[in-house]
Structures are given as C-alpha cells and as structure tokens.
C-alpha cells in the first residue's frame, strides 16, 4: 500500500515537536473548508438513501446528468483498471501515485508520459490517465486539448480518464462545466473523477463522484456495491455542492492566497501555482523540507521530480509564521554561501 500525505505524526516524533505545534502544509486541502452545520440525528441511525437530493445537486454543480457518488474518488481509481479495455495504458508522470499503482496491481503496468506527449500517446494507447490540474507539479490541460485527445483515443476504442480532484477551484478547466455553469457535452470515452476533499476541505467525509457514460457508470456502481457514501457524508456533500455563494467567494480567496504563497516562495526558485497549492521544483528540496520541519512547518517532499509542494496556510498567524520561517532560512543560506566563498 502506498503512503500518502506528509505523515504529520511521524514528523512530530522525528523532530520532537508536539503535534499541536505544527503548521501542516503537506496537503492541498483548503484550510478554510466548507463549514458543515450540525447534522440531524436520523442520518446516523438510518442507512443512506440513494433517492435523496445528492445526485441532483451534484448534477447541477458538475454539469453532468448522472454523477455516481463514491466513497472518495479512490474507489474508482482502484476499480477502473478492471473495467476499461485491455491494451497499453499510459499515466501522466508525475501524477497522483495511486493511478499507476492501481493499474500495476491489476497486472497492467502503465507507461509514464510527460504532458507534451499526450497527443502521441492518445494515438496509440488504449487508456490514458492524467490529472487536471495535476498533482504535484500543477500542470494544466485545456478542455479543448483534452477533447482532441479523447477523439484520437476514440478512433481506436481508447479511453481518457481525467482526475479533477483539484478542479473545483478552476471550473473553467473542467471537461464537464465552465465557470458560468454552462454544461459541456462529455464524450462517451471520457471518465472524469471529482472529489470533495480538496476545494471543499471535506477530505474526512470521503466523498467523490465519477462522471462517466451509462454503461461504465453501471459497471462501476455494481463493483463498488450498496451504500458507498454514508448518510452524514451525503448530507454534508449536498450542502457544500449547493452553496454557490460560498463557492464563488472561496474561489476568489484561493486565487489571492495562492498568489501570496507563490510570492513568498519566489526567492527560492521558479514556482508553479494552482489555486490550492504551489509547486517548487528545487534540487535542494530535502534541505529546505528539513529546515522548515525543524521549525514545525511540514511540506510535502517529492524526489522524482525533486521539489516541494506547499499547501495554503489558513489564518493570518499561519501566514506570518511561514513568512518568518522562509525569511530566516533564506538569510541562513546567504550567510552559509558567504562563509563558503570566504573559506
């Protein structure tokens, strides 16, 4: 089983800093997520009911007629390798590691490809998998480019799987809906995965959706089984997806916050930002990761490619703490360089 996240408890033990004293920037989860109201007691006492309003609300939010509720998009990631046609599989690299892992577990070792190879792979692969925006490097694909790739795949019976886990913050990039909520027609060989964990900050609810053609949707539903999403999680998801005022305000805030984070990181290198995280490619990523961790700030370190992913701070005190830490580390680096040059 793959490991995920920054492993905060492990870091706390390693650096001898109490858990409560950490600033955890190791995820791309919105730190100021949708405020879940108190839930009625009945949702804990009854089995979930599929004929509540969740699917209708999700359909309006995603611009798709029949979103399939999932216990997180992870459920679809693990199941799709057994439902999609046999043949060559290509997964964007870098990308969320579970995609390639799921195909490998199913005995279908995928080819890794870079973003600029999409068109070439679409002409010959049976399944192409990517994330948009991509995690961890923030690569983005326009809907027009993805639709063209899907058309190439369709010519030989191929499929395109697009993970839009980070897509709610930038709906103009989505294959199923635009920023003005006008729906787009989804080609029959595309599967889009959505999640409430990132933009809505509801990772603990474990709610996702598969937007897929009817036959694939039915097969996925049968594989996953009944009651995939708990009653409390369905209520929280419906409330979040229906709250358009919160969504609009949050997109504006995230845009400001990601620009602020990118500005803080700019002295360390070329930053690529998304609404929910910044990617800092850096050969010295291990050293910067450790320097921040010694100050109780956890980031997500990647070795291939080498870099750090920074999630967004939440309240102003967290922003000030990160800014002070980065300034101190930059000063230390300058002093160290001066010592080396004078030696």
Do the domain assignments include residue 3?
no
In the chain, % of residues over pLDDT 70: 93
What does the block give as tokens for 5? 């996240």
> Is the same domain home to 231 and 94?
yes
CB 207 within 8 A of CB 230: no
> Is the same domain home to 252 and 234?
no
Report the number of distinct structural domains present in the chain: 2
> Rounded to whole angstroms, how far apart are CA atoms 324 and 333?
14
> Is the same domain home to 157 and 235?
yes
> Is the same domain home to 140 and 267?
no
Do the domain assignments include residue 1?
no
Do the domain assignments include residue 310?
yes
Residue 338 has pLDDT above 70, yes or no: no
Indicate the helix (H) or strand (E) that contains 38. Answer: none
Do the domain assignments include residue 203?
yes
CB 153 within 8 A of CB 122: yes
DSSP output for 309-326: EEE---SHHHHHHHHHHH
> Is the same domain home to 264 and 127?
no
* pTM check: above 0.85: yes
Range of the domain at 324: 8-33+245-342
> Is the same domain home to 169 and 48?
yes
> Is the same domain home to 63 and 122?
yes
Give me the long-range contacts of 103-109 (CB less than 8 A, separation at least 24): 103/127, 103/129, 105/78, 105/81, 106/81, 106/82, 108/81
CA distances from 300 to 9, 253, 255, 309 (A): 14, 23, 21, 5
Do the domain assignments include residue 152?
yes
Average pLDDT (34-60) is 94
Task: Place 309 in a pLDDT band, splitting at 50, 70 and 90.
Answer: very high
Indicate the helix (H) or strand (E) that contains 23. Answer: strand 23-24
> Is the same domain home to 94 and 177?
yes
Query: Residue 184 has what pLDDT?
Result: 62
> Is the same domain home to 283 and 335?
yes
Query: Residue 11 has what pLDDT?
Result: 93
What does the block give as tokens for 247? 């969504």
For residue 109, give the CATH number of its domain.
3.40.640.10
For residue 28, give the CATH number of its domain.
3.90.1150.10
Residue 157 has pLDDT above 60, yes or no: yes
pLDDT tens per residue across span 255-271 = 999 999 999 999 999 99
Describe the crossing of helices 244-265 and 316-342 by its angle, rounded to 10 degrees.
20
> Is the same domain home to 181 and 299?
no
* Beta strand residue intervals within 60-217, DSSP E: 68-70, 89-92, 111-113, 127-131, 159-163, 190-195, 208-211
Do the domain assignments include residue 29?
yes
> Is the same domain home to 164 and 282?
no
CB 234 within 8 A of CB 69: yes
Indicate the helix (H) or strand (E) that contains 307. Answer: strand 306-311
Task: Place 163 in a pLDDT band, splitting at 50, 70 and 90.
Answer: very high
The pairing of strands 111-113 and 89-92 is parallel
> Rounded to whole angstroms, how far apart are CA atoms 313 and 75?
29
CA distances from 188 to 75, 163, 183, 211, 213 (A): 21, 16, 15, 10, 6
Among the listed residues 175, 171, 195, 179, the one whose alpha carbon sits nearest the alpha carbon of residue 187: 175
Residue finishing a domain among 214, 242, 270: 242
Q: Which of 217-221, 226-230, 338-342 has the lowest mean pLDDT?
A: 338-342
What does the block give as tokens for 163? 């993970």
> Is the same domain home to 22 and 114?
no
In this structure, the number of other CB atoms found within 10 A of the CB of residue 185 comes to: 10
Residue burial 282-312, b: 16+ Cβ < 10 Å; e: rest: beebeebbebbbebbbbbbbbeeeebbbbbb
Residue finishing a domain among 186, 216, 242: 242
Average pLDDT (163-192) is 82
> Rounded to whole angstroms, how far apart are CA atoms 215 and 223?
13
């Amino acid at each position: 089983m793959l490991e995920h996240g920054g492993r905060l408890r492990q870091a706390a033990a390693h650096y001898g800093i109490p858990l409560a004293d950490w600033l955890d920037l190791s995820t791309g989860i919105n730190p100021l997520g949708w405020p879940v109201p108190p839930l009625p007691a009945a949702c804990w006492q009854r089995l979930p009911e599929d004929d509540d309003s969740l699917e209708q609300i999700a359909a309006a939010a995603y611009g798709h007629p029949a979103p399939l509720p999932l216990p997180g998009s992870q459920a679809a990631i693990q199941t799709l390798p057994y439902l999609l046609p046999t043949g060559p599989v290509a997964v964007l690299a870098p990308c969320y590691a579970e995609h390639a892992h799921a195909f490998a577990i199913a005995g279908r070792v995928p080819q890794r490809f870079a973003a600029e190879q999409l068109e070439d792979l679409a002409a010959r692969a049976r399944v192409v998998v990517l994330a948009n925006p991509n995690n961890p490097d923030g690569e983005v694909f326009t809907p027009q480019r993805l639709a063209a790739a899907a058309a190439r795949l369709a010519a030989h019976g191929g499929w395109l799987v697009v993970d839009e886990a980070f897509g709610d913050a930038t709906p103009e990039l989505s294959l199923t809906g635009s920023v003005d909520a006008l729906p787009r027609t989804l080609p029959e060989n595309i599967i889009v995965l959505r999640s409430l964990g990132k933009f809505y900050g509801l990772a603990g609810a474990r709610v996702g959706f598969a937007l897929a053609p009817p036959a694939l949707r039915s097969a996925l539903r049968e594989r996953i089984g009944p009651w995939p999403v708990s009653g409390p999680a369905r209520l929280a998801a419906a409330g979040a997806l229906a709250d358009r005022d919160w969504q609009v305000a949050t997109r504006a805030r995230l845009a400001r916050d990601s620009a602020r984070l990118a500005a803080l990181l700019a002295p360390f290198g070329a930053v690529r930002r998304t609404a929910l995280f910044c990617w800092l490619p850096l050969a010295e990523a291990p050293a910067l990761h450790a320097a921040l961790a010694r100050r109780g700030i956890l980031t997500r370190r990647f070795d291939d490619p080498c870099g750090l992913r920074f999630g967004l701070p939440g309240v102003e005190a967290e922003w000030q703490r990160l800014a002070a830490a980065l300034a101190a580390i930059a000063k230390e680096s300058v002093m160290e360089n001066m010592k080396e040059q004078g030696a």
